[in-house]
Chains A and B, each alone.
Chain A
């Protein structure tokens, strides 16, 4: 009898356990379904619009293909071998990294300066200036390029006219036509166009710092510089890191627009960046395979640079904290 009773209890426990497991399983399944609902469509779009084109570019980089023919000739890694001997590729890569470094330094210094000026030095027109500094961000890069072309125009441009005010003879410098180093002239428009967004990002970061930190440090006798160095900078460092990485990536991938508009890569390919050279080779000189190989190079360069910069800036974060 006891044995029967025990068996009934065991059976009850078994069914209860199974029921609980079932209940638990359903909850888990629902949770997974819920997560999948958000992830799957995004993943699908990511595959279609990012992974697939990247894979296609990698595939085409192995071919000698004009981009408009039915015939593609498989040449393995020959496009990459040719790139090593192409001086324009190296020059373009140098220009890209010049713009990356120049933009990071220029944008970060000015954006931080403006963000602090508009938040810490409370003055009446701060909202007005915030809008003014943000305007370049809502203007298309094409318009920015055309605008700065007018500024740099040697005959009717603002810059030469302005400089002529201080000289006896009319200044006629060809700002975008130097035999070398013309790439320097693309830095001011690129920085000018980028400040606003990062300034807003840093303003938001500064405004999230509790005012009491500044009050307490003020009571201890800390000046504006000390407060910036020991309170503001460490506490906005995360946003600065994101900004630096974003500037780096957008420059490597997107600076070709301003180059195409302002110099078309010239004179004599001196302002070519990898993106503009890719466009030139793929669409104007009918070497689509070679253009795709340059695209793969941009991808690899972006990945390596991102990893290196993250490592470098990660160490600095530890130092600060």
Chain B
């Protein structure tokens, strides 16, 4: 009896002690099983086989696993679902895995750090910065491939890109898929009803803002929680305008060259924000609200203008009141008669350096950079694609067509997508916020940012 009790006690004790260990063991097994060699080698192996069994038209038959990471934000995921389904139909032997969602950038981070990234990545949304990914050696060098790459229709990809790929020390690692533009929005219907003129330059913008203020509406709202909106739509175009439409100043700023921030054009541009502030045109609520709140107030006609990107109408689709008609101009900071400056905001696509199925990833690039997909993108996401083409006949929304017109106009200075160093970018955002609430002067803005740029350039 005693021995039975002892045995039972020993048994329970052993079970209790071993159970958690067993749990750890099994999860570890699972973790180690996930990137097991056989599986990871599978795509390469089958791709080789695919090469051998090339189809009649000479294209490789794609097989194996192929994983696509895409962020779902203001553009939604309708286009991604559609293009992936189309690509799957064209390559039935390929096992495509979609990793998409609004938090996907954070969710996939451990995979990138652990050297097991997805094959293809759409670089958009928070916490994913192409400059940083290049510095970290995570992206495949596409320089040579892109030189001759053709899309599925046989067109050279570089020939049909509206904006060329950003170069990092002369090399290309990602290609812009979405050509977006920062700018200023208003409600055309409201302006017509109130008899307010639509702005075309800085002087007309100030004049109509005076009228709007006199009528009891606050002229301008932005999101102080995310000051890159006001920087992207107001400050950077203003810097280019003040620099005689020479965009190299922004490129030098992106390369953290200290002297670029000390150019008089930067101060001139900052003084325009000060002018807005001192005239009482900036809604006081701006400093503490997020982008959604600022957009809601704009849609409710509490404010007349909002700096934003072309994703705005799609993002707020459910909350747009009836009769609301979006007016858009890429910049308002140019002097009368000056060129409009379109600060583009592209969302890019790239192949992971450690991708397991690079052939499929390259084929997918050739698939998405086609005119058919460009038109489909404009319709499903409500933003222009980075592929040249006339979308006036497509079902794209009118503001997208307006924006496309600006972006292809010879009188528009188009600023190619620029990615700032993350520290410099944050310093500029903080300083602009401080400027809008009279905490610092434009000169202090420059001092602050120069300090950070010096450190970043080291």
Contact = CB atoms under 8 A, between A and B. Distances in A.
A66 B293 contact: no
Interface stretch (A41-49, A135-143, A201-209, A297-305): A41-49
Interface in B422-458: 422-423, 426, 430-431, 433-434, 437-439
Contacts of B437: 177, 179, 267-268
Contacts of A37: 12-13, 16-17
User: How many interface residues does chain A have, given as a range?
Assistant: 35 or more
B105 to A, nearest CB: 10
Interface string B122-145: 000011010011011110000000
Contacts of A264: 225-226, 290
A155 B297 contact: yes
B35 interface: no
Interface string B1-43: 0000010011011001101110010000000000000000000
Nearest to A66: B136
Contacts of A212: none
Most chain-A CB neighbours within 10 Å: which of B19, B20, B288, B434? B288
Interface in B105-128: 106, 109, 112-113, 115, 126-127
Contacts of B115: 70
A285 B112 CA distance: 17
A68 B133 contact: yes
Contacts of A36: 13, 17
Interface in A24-61: 30, 33-34, 36-38, 40-41, 44-45, 48
A119 interface: no
Interface in A151-179: 152-156, 172, 174-177, 179
Nearest to A26: B6
A45 B246 CA distance: 60
Nearest to A82: B455
A283 B127 contact: yes
Given A172-B284, A285-B422, A44 B302 contact: no
B275 to A, nearest CB: 19
B433 A179 contact: no
A149 B292 CA distance: 13
Contacts of A33: 9-10, 13
B45 to A, nearest CB: 25
A207 B287 CA distance: 48
Contacts of A45: 20
Contacts of B6: 30
A263 interface: yes
B438 A179 contact: yes
Instruction: Summarize B's interface: helix, strand, loop or mixed.
Output: helix
Nearest to B138: A68
Contacts of A267: 224, 287-288, 433-434, 437, 439
B288 A176 contact: yes
B283 interface: yes
B207 interface: no
A69 B225 contact: no
A177 B287 contact: yes
A81 to B, nearest CB: 14
Nearest to B115: A70
A298 B132 CA distance: 27
B24 A48 contact: yes
A176 B426 CA distance: 19
Interface of B: 6, 9-10, 12-13, 16-17, 19-21, 24, 106, 109, 112-113, 115, 126-127, 129, 132-133, 135-138, 224-226, 283-290, 293, 297, 302, 422-423, 426, 430-431, 433-434, 437-439
A254 interface: no
Contacts of B133: 68
A36 B16 CA distance: 10
Interface in A53-102: 66-71
A156 B296 CA distance: 11
Contact of B422 (A152, A174, A177, A284): A284
Nearest to A261: B290
A5 B297 CA distance: 107
A34 B13 contact: yes
A68 B132 contact: yes
A310 interface: no
Interface string A280-300: 100111100000000000000
Nearest to A39: B17
A106 interface: no
Given A66-B136, A269-B430, 11 more contacts: A40-B17, A67-B109, A67-B113, A68-B113, A69-B136, A153-B289, A172-B285, A177-B288, A264-B290, A267-B433, A268-B431
Interface in A211-260: none
B288 A44 contact: no
A274 B250 CA distance: 32
A266 interface: yes
Contacts of A280: 426
B191 to A, nearest CB: 21
9 closest Cβ contacts across the A-B interface? A177-B287, A69-B136, A176-B288, A177-B288, A154-B285, A268-B434, A179-B439, A37-B13, A41-B20
A68 B109 contact: yes
A48 B329 CA distance: 55
A66 B135 contact: yes
Contacts of B109: 67-68
